[in-house]
């Protein structure tokens, strides 16, 4: 997997190459200053990848609110959602089960063609490829 990071003042754009597929990830990093701009990009999204630091208990409440807001957004209703539960290599990390319960997203798990929580470790390089493969597969199924 090849990752190239491009940074701007408003958003980080990261082309990620997984196999022969290129993903362009737009990272708004939850900066409250840019949240009003999110809606202008939503209609052009093919999927949502929401990254959570599984060790940061202080940021989890904010992540819960933001994810809840995105899941209720009409423009994203038919889009696949991939939640990356990052830092799963850290012993202090909440497990995927604990995160799912804390974020109150159990009801979305019965939609496996539209919603997935993927354990990841950026440090160990684990889980991201599987998550992006899932996104690619879901998008390909909906194109056909």
For the full predicted model, state whether its pTM sits above 0.95: no
- The total of structural domains in the chain comes to 1
What is the CATH classification number for the domain harbouring 86? Answer: 3.40.50.300
Residue carrying structure tokens 């990752």: 3
Give the residue numbers spanning the domain of 101: 2-143
125 known ligand binder: no
Of 88, 53, 94, 45, nearest to 70 (Cα)? 45
Q: Is 30 annotated as a binding residue?
A: yes
- Say what the pLDDT of residue 87 is: 96
Confirm whether residue 8 is marked as ligand binding: yes
Q: Per-residue confidence at 22, pLDDT binned at 50, 70, 90?
A: confident
pLDDT tens profile 84-125: 999 999 999 999 999 999 999 988 988 777 999 999 998 898
Query: 141: annotated binding-site residue?
Result: no
88 is annotated as contributing to ligand binding? yes
Longest dimension (CA), the chain: 42
Per-position b or e across 28-47, b if 16+ CB within 10 A of its CB: eeeeeeeeeebeeeeeeeeb
- d(Cα 62, Cα 42) in Å, to the nearest integer? 20
């Amino acid at each position: 997997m090849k990752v190239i990071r491009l940074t701007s003042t408003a958003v980080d754009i990261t082309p990620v190459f997984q196999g022969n597929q290129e993903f362009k990830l737009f990272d708004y990093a939850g900066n409250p200053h840019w949240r009003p701009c999110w809606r202008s990009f939503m209609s052009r999204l093919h999927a949502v990848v929401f990254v959570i630091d599984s060790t940061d208990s202080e940021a989890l409440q904010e992540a819960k609110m933001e994810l809840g807001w995105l899941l209720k957004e009409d423009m994203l209703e038919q889009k696949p959602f991939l939640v990356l539960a990052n830092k799963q290599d850290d012993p202090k990390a909440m497990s995927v089960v604990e995160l799912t319960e804390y974020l109150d997203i159990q009801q979305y798990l019965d939609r496996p063609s539209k919603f997935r929580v993927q354990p990841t470790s950026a440090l160990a390089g684990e889980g991201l490829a599987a998550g992006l493969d899932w996104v690619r597969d879901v998008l390909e199924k909906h194109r056909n």
